[in-house]
A and B are shown apart, each in its own frame.
Chain A
Amino acid sequence: MEQSALDQIQSGQREIGLKRLFNEDYNIQEQLFLKAMNSFVDQSRHRLIDRLQHEKSKELLSLWAAFFVFLVSLSFWIMLIRRLQKWGGILSQEIREHHKAEKTANTLERKYQDLFEYANDPILILDPMTYRLLDVNRKAVDLLGYERDELLGLSLNDLILGDDQNSVEQLLKTLCPSNSTVSECTYRHKDGRPFPVEISGRLIDAGDKEVYQCFARDITERRRFQEERLHSQKIEAIGQVADGIAHDFRNALTAISGYNALGQNLLPKRHPALESLKRIDQVINQANGLIRGMLTFSRRQETERQSVELRQLVENSADLFRRILPAAITLEIDVASVQNFQVSADITQLQQVLLNLMINARDAMPDGGTLRISLSPASADRGDGSDTAGWVRIEVSDTGIGMPPEVQARIFEPFFTTKPDEYGTGLGLAMVHNIVSQHGGRVEVRSAVGQGSAFTVLLPPATPDSTQDEIISSRNWKSGAGEMILLAEDHRYVREIMAATLRHVGYEVVQAEDGLALLDRYRAHRDRLRLLIADLDLPGCSGLDALRQLRARGARLPAILITGTDSRDLSDQLDMETLLLRKPFQMATLARLVYSLLHQEARVDDRTHLDRPG
């Protein structure tokens, strides 16, 4: 019973167990109870301790677990925060970069737009299927003459001349992102005017679809340069051939002319054959003229440039022009708008230009008409990039049969002619072109079949130097009247050339090789001498010393002292009758100076060569 009560107590039925124990025998029960209690307490204590220990372990474990969890959580959160911070940084950087990229893209877009819009070459964006224009830049608008909106409705074929359409289409078909092809074709301006264009393009990705991006460069100027270069090469080749032919031709003519002269000398004065021999002379002269014409194509032609007043040239040539024109052709000359325009030119060649243009105009009007020669200032901006400001424009126009474009394209080619064989050599206009080019000018033509032609020659003005040369060479050359000049120069060859020049222009020359000879010759010819020319550095006695001696003896004749090395200002040592001429100087300058001194003209003011007493 006790045991069962104890078991009950132990098993958790303490109340029942205890009641059963106490009710039955207190002492025993008490002892038992105490024993049981002790045992129980011990057991309980152990159990409690165990439990407590167990609980404590469990709690500790829980605590540790919680702590661990806390740590893990903390790490996690720290990591998370850090990651979030990092992600936030990345995100904000990405946002910044995105903004930056967006800004860059916008800038690039603007740049591209600017490049596209303001590119110096016309750019056309085309639909690859229909060749319709999707976009064009300003230059394309300017080039083609259409408004932008008008262009966007057009196909590329609307802008290209018929013959070139197929080739351009073929070109476009070959385009791909990695292939850019270049080709030349002819575009048509809105006003119908054709012009050459170099077209290049590639297939590009425009975002939503692929398009053709085409560059259409106006190559009018380049073509012109190419044509001029080609023409120059042809002329050079012809010049070389002409030079060779002219050389042999002239030798033959020299022999014919010489033998002809010999024959004439051998015949008595009234011999009937003389007339025929003189005719041969005429033919020889004509042949020499032909040689000169051939030499126009040679770089070694015999030219003499001088300043030519164009209005005077045209007016002076008017009589000659009238003589070659039949009565049915009316000649109009309008030179009023150009006053005193000087060009640096070979006057004979310039006349040749006018004459060739006149003859062409005459032949273009077999039934008569009006031939007009006009002079006018050239406009500065001629629309082709060339600067002709300050130039003069000579226009020779006719109301004749005109020329189709294919003839116009070839008229300046040597040996190209539309005239019958017996009338044209095909060299006339080539000669015009060559002469004008050599004078730094340009020649152009406008013509329409049935309406006539107009040739325009554009010439640059003479430079101040060439104007000076003109004054030198055209005035006072061959103007001497046998006046005697004493020339003292120690350089024999120079002295001989100067003497020959002075004799050639009409003076008598006495020469002296040094200062003493100068004084001696002066004494011998003092009554007839009109002028003294002396080198400043003569051996024996300098030119200046010799002149001083002569002045001391009362010689009042004008004098020219020549110096090359002496750069001193000698003006205070020269009297009013003496000029200082500095080397280098041209023979024509010497002739002009001599004339001026002998004729007491207004004193010459030649800043480059002369010093005068102040």
Chain B
Amino acid sequence: MIGPISIVLVDDHALVRDMLRQRLAQETDMVVLGCESNAQDAVRCCVATRPDVVLLDIDMPGLSAFEGARSIKRQCPGTRLVFLSAFFHDRYIDQALALEATGYLTKNEPPEVVVQAIRQVMTGTVYFSDEVLTRIVVSEDGARLAHAPESRTRLLTERELEMLAYIARGLSKKEIARTVGISVKTVEQHCAHLMEKLAIHDRVELARLAIREGLVEP
């Protein structure tokens, strides 16, 4: 017998998290295994509960949602990633596609769409809105967003982008190392590389760039 769709909800906004939990609880074929407010806890919860779907808000304090998603994907390959963002941000969509996320929803959508998306991804397919689907380009490397903004941040690796986002959030190298779970020396190396690639050696300028590029919320 196939059990209900198990779900982990991750959103730093308690109101949204609780509302979604209540809404999903109304569906008889769905069960919410956990509600977390940051990506770090989400990884722990997913590893412990192995949900079918994890609904991840993108902009949360602490570990980046994409880094958390990468970790969940690695440790729980059966869990489908559905991102939930306040807006359609090209940068976010591009990162979600790079992670082979099965869905990307905005909070503008009514809760019914969230329910529908969860059901759809459980059928083995993906759920993206019209606006996103029309702009997806299939290339030899997989799927990416068409007309994604070209900027200097294209020069950065995934890890360096993540470091840039943490720097923009005001985290120190020690805090970044603690958050991501790597050594301070590694963080320093990543930071040196990204600063060299971007030709920016000022934390404030890096933060400005990260905000402009949509890597973090202002």
Q: Which residues of A contact B (CB under 8 A)?
A: 236, 240-241, 243-244, 246-247, 250-255, 257-259, 261-262, 265, 288, 295, 299-300, 302, 304-305, 473, 477, 491, 493-494, 496-501, 503-504, 562, 564-565, 583-588, 590
A584–B97 Cα distance when bound, in Å, is 15
B15 to chain A, nearest CB (A): 4
Q: Which residues of B contact A562 (CB under 8 A)?
A: 138
A587–B214 Cα distance when bound, in Å, is 24
Q: Which residues of B contact A250 (CB under 8 A)?
A: 86-87, 107-108
Q: Are B86 and A257 in contact (CB under 8 A)?
A: no
Check: B23 CB closer than 8 A to any chain A CB.
yes
Q: Which residues of A contact B44 (CB under 8 A)?
A: none
Q: Which residues of A contact B22 (CB under 8 A)?
A: 258-259, 262
- Ordered by A's residue number, 18 sampled pairs between the chains whose C-beta atoms are within 8 Å are A240-B211, A247-B87, A253-B108, A254-B16, A254-B108, A257-B111, A259-B19, A261-B112, A299-B212, A300-B87, A300-B214, A494-B138, A497-B143, A500-B127, A562-B138, A584-B140, A587-B135, A587-B138
Given contacts A302-B88, A493-B100, A500-B128, whether A288 and B137 have CB atoms under 8 Å apart is no
Q: Are B146 and A586 in contact (CB under 8 A)?
A: yes
Q: Are A251 and B15 in contact (CB under 8 A)?
A: yes
Check: B218 CB closer than 8 A to any chain A CB.
yes
Name the residue on A nearest B139 (C-beta).
A584
B48 to chain A, nearest CB (A): 26
Check: B64 CB closer than 8 A to any chain A CB.
no
Given contacts A295-B87, A565-B140, whether A500 and B15 have CB atoms under 8 Å apart is no
Q: Which residues of B contact A252 (CB under 8 A)?
A: 15
**A236, A247, A497 interface centre (most CB from chain B within 10 Å):** A497
Q: Which residues of B contact A (CB under 8 A)?
A: 13, 15-16, 18-20, 22-23, 26, 59, 86-91, 100, 102, 107-108, 110-112, 120, 124-128, 130-131, 133-140, 142-143, 146-147, 211-212, 214, 217-218
Q: Which residues of B contact A565 (CB under 8 A)?
A: 140
Q: Which 7 A-B pairs give the minimum distances between C-beta atoms?
A: A255-B15, A584-B139, A258-B19, A564-B140, A254-B107, A240-B218, A493-B100
Checking A247, A265, A473, A498 against B217 with a beta-carbon cut-off of 8 angstroms, the contacting residue is A247
Given contacts A257-B111, A504-B133, whether A262 and B26 have CB atoms under 8 Å apart is yes
B84 to chain A, nearest CB (A): 9
Name the prevailing secondary structure of the A interface residues: helix
B67 to chain A, nearest CB (A): 19
Q: Are B26 and A265 in contact (CB under 8 A)?
A: yes
A262–B19 Cα distance when bound, in Å, is 8
A599–B128 Cα distance when bound, in Å, is 26
Name the residue on A nearest B138 (C-beta).
A494
B122 to chain A, nearest CB (A): 12
A473–B134 Cα distance when bound, in Å, is 7
A323–B124 Cα distance when bound, in Å, is 47
A491–B144 Cα distance when bound, in Å, is 14
Q: Are B138 and A288 in contact (CB under 8 A)?
A: no
A345 to chain B, nearest CB (A): 14
Q: Are B217 and A499 in contact (CB under 8 A)?
A: no
Q: Are A258 and B16 in contact (CB under 8 A)?
A: yes
Checking B18, B90, B126 against A496 with a beta-carbon cut-off of 8 angstroms, the contacting residue is B126
A259–B108 Cα distance when bound, in Å, is 14
B139 to chain A, nearest CB (A): 4
Q: Are B26 and A498 in contact (CB under 8 A)?
A: no
B169 to chain A, nearest CB (A): 13
Q: Are A258 and B23 in contact (CB under 8 A)?
A: yes
A572–B212 Cα distance when bound, in Å, is 50
Q: Which residues of B contact A243 (CB under 8 A)?
A: 217-218
Checking A261, A300, A585 against B138 with a beta-carbon cut-off of 8 angstroms, the contacting residue is A585
Q: Which residues of B contact A504 (CB under 8 A)?
A: 130, 133
Checking A302, A496, A584 against B137 with a beta-carbon cut-off of 8 angstroms, the contacting residue is A584
A520–B130 Cα distance when bound, in Å, is 31
A346 to chain B, nearest CB (A): 11
Q: Are A564 and B139 in contact (CB under 8 A)?
A: yes
B205 to chain A, nearest CB (A): 14
Q: Which residues of A contact B59 (CB under 8 A)?
A: 247
Q: Which residues of B contact A496 (CB under 8 A)?
A: 102, 124-126
Q: Are A494 and B142 in contact (CB under 8 A)?
A: yes
Q: Are B212 and A500 in contact (CB under 8 A)?
A: no
Q: Which residues of B contact A590 (CB under 8 A)?
A: 138
A295–B214 Cα distance when bound, in Å, is 13
Name the residue on A nearest B124 (C-beta).
A496
Q: Which residues of B contact A247 (CB under 8 A)?
A: 59, 86-87, 217
Q: Are B23 and A501 in contact (CB under 8 A)?
A: no
Q: Are A500 and B125 in contact (CB under 8 A)?
A: yes
Given contacts A251-B13, A497-B143, A587-B136, whether A299 and B214 have CB atoms under 8 Å apart is yes
Checking B16, B87, B126, B143 against A302 with a beta-carbon cut-off of 8 angstroms, the contacting residue is B87
Given A300-B214, A500-B127, A588-B135, 19 further pairs, Cβ under 8 A? A236-B212, A250-B87, A251-B16, A254-B16, A261-B111, A300-B87, A302-B88, A477-B130, A491-B142, A493-B142, A497-B133, A499-B125, A501-B136, A503-B125, A583-B140, A584-B139, A587-B134, A587-B135, A590-B138
A408 to chain B, nearest CB (A): 30
A266–B8 Cα distance when bound, in Å, is 24
Name the residue on B nearest A587 (C-beta).
B136
A254–B85 Cα distance when bound, in Å, is 11
Q: Are B19 and A586 in contact (CB under 8 A)?
A: no
Q: Which residues of B contact A257 (CB under 8 A)?
A: 110-111
Q: Which residues of A contact B120 (CB under 8 A)?
A: 500
Q: Which residues of B contact A498 (CB under 8 A)?
A: 138
Q: Which residues of B contact A236 (CB under 8 A)?
A: 212
Q: Which residues of A contact B107 (CB under 8 A)?
A: 250-251, 253-254
Name the residue on A nearest B111 (C-beta).
A258
A499–B120 Cα distance when bound, in Å, is 12
Q: Are B16 and A501 in contact (CB under 8 A)?
A: no
Q: Are A586 and B136 in contact (CB under 8 A)?
A: yes
Q: Are A583 and B139 in contact (CB under 8 A)?
A: yes
Q: Which residues of B contact A586 (CB under 8 A)?
A: 134-137, 146
Q: Which residues of A contact B214 (CB under 8 A)?
A: 299-300
**A265, A501, A564 interface centre (most CB from chain B within 10 Å):** A501
A516–B176 Cα distance when bound, in Å, is 49
Q: Which residues of A contact B137 (CB under 8 A)?
A: 584-587
Q: Which residues of A contact B91 (CB under 8 A)?
A: 300
Q: Which residues of A contact B102 (CB under 8 A)?
A: 496
A406–B176 Cα distance when bound, in Å, is 50
Name the residue on A nearest B26 (C-beta).
A265
Name the residue on A nearest B214 (C-beta).
A300
**B59, B134, B217 interface centre (most CB from chain A within 10 Å):** B134
Q: Which residues of B contact A497 (CB under 8 A)?
A: 126, 128, 133, 136, 138, 143
B201 to chain A, nearest CB (A): 22
Q: Which residues of A contact B16 (CB under 8 A)?
A: 251, 254-255, 258
Q: Which residues of A contact B26 (CB under 8 A)?
A: 262, 265
Name the residue on B nearest A304 (C-beta).
B131
